[in-house]
Structure 1
Amino acid sequence: MKKRFLDTAVVAMTLGTAVCSVQAQDVDVLSGDTRLACEAILCLSTGQRPSECTPSLDRYFGIKKKKLSDTLEARLNFLEQCPVADQTPQMSALVRAISRGAGRCDASSLNSTLRMWTGGDGGEIQISDRMPDYCAAYTGQAYTDFSQTGPKYVATPEKGGYWVEAKDYEREQADYNVRQAVERRNYWWGGT
């Protein structure tokens, strides 16, 4: 909890320092999309999103184009309106990671996009336990708290594994273990 708070605080301090220097030049700079872009960066850097994030997240996720690549580029352009978006290499990396991963790296999205057919008539559908590179960059970014709040994988692909939200991980893992124990018992004792 302390690490998550500190990581988010680092982003907030970085944004706050830049905001103060920008505000000294022009008080009206942080309004409209500029303000929403800065708020979106803060809100998308954590898995804990308060209701104050709603306007900026609505604006960010409201950016949609016909092609996914165009949507991601337009969202990046939106985030780059924040004065600190390119102030340091770390902030540039954060903004790029957000633009590629936000809204695409939660458990539900991972379970649907990482489905794979294992092949043949006897094959089955498995869900990969390996995050796409864009999700690994987003959830592993130093200025986010996703190491604590990001999705977690239950079991292994071969054993019916799947992604869950971090808050549900312990319960889901325990439920999975119970199901596996019942299956083993039924297999050995011939029960149903």
Structure 2
Amino acid sequence: FGIKRFNRHGLDWGATVAARRSFLGQCPAAADPGMPERVEAISHGAGKCDADYLNRSYADTAYKWRKRGYRYDAATGNQEPVYEVHTLKTVTLTQLPTWCVAYNDHDWTYELSVRYVGRPTMGGHWVKAEDYEAAQARWDAEHGGQWAQGWNFSMSDPRQRAGL
């Protein structure tokens, strides 16, 4: 995990993965049955399969919105909808990347399980598997009932779609 390569923009994951693969390939057992796949999983997955990394890397913005009425546009002579829009931090990736599945499911890997809570259009995110039940219950309580009643949720701003 300590092997990291940087470029002028910060951490260079491609170079880091290559350096880790090269280092792990020096192990005498690296060519044993099943080990090339294991080396690949470690080099790709180490440090990139926890909730913090997934939430940072796949962060996006969702929108909670509803029409509040209409206003008259004197220039066009048309009525245009007026929207109330709130942005929501969200994570769009709801399935683990394949390298995380290979890394996490191997017999020699410490349990790194993470689970996705919620829905992408309503502020979903990754948590440690051990925290999932409480996090999902909290998300359900915070995102149901009055919070969601009468609102629409989308990954695009409705004002952009309406051309406003």
Q: TM range, normalised to the smaller chain?
A: 0.5 to 0.7
Q: Output aligned runs, 1:1-150, within 5 Å.
A: 60-66=1-7, 67-88=12-33, 90-117=34-61, 125-128=89-92, 129-141=94-106, 144=109, 146=111, 149-150=112-113
Secondary structure, aligned partner of 1:168: helix
Q: Residues 169 and 187 from structure 1, CA distance in 2 versus in 1: closer, same or farther, beyond 3 angstroms?
A: closer
After superposition, the C-alpha distances for 1:149-187 in whole angstroms (9 at most, x for unaligned) are: 411001111221110011111111121122234xx1466
Output the amino acid matched with 2:90. Answer: Q
The Cα of 1:80 is off from its aligned counterpart by 1.7
Partners of 1:61 and 1:79 in 2: CA distance: 12
Is the CA contact (8 Å cut-off) linking 1:94 and 1:143 kept in structure 2? Answer: no
Paired residue for 2:123? 160
8 Å CA contact 2:62–2:122 kept in 1: the answer is no
Alignment partner, residue 142 of structure 2: 179
Decide which structure has greater helix share: 1
Between the aligned partners of 2:57 and 2:27, the Cα distance in structure 1 is 31
Q: Distance in 2 between matches of 1:125 and 1:87?
A: 44
Q: What TM-score comes out, normalization by structure 2 length? A: 0.62
Root-mean-square deviation (Å): 2.8
C-alpha separation between the residues in 2 aligned to 1:79 and 1:138?
A: 14
Structure 1 gap ranges (5+): 1-59
CA offset digits 1:98-133 (Å, max 9, x no partner): 1001101100000011113459x9675431213333
Q: Which runs of 4+ in 1 moved over 3 A?
A: 121-125, 140-146, 185-188
Larger radius of gyration: 2
Q: Unmatched 5+ residue regions in structure 2?
A: 64-82, 150-164
Task: Give the TM-score normalised by the residue count of structure 1.
Answer: 0.54
Distance in 2 (CA, whole Å) between partners of 1:167 and 1:144 is 17
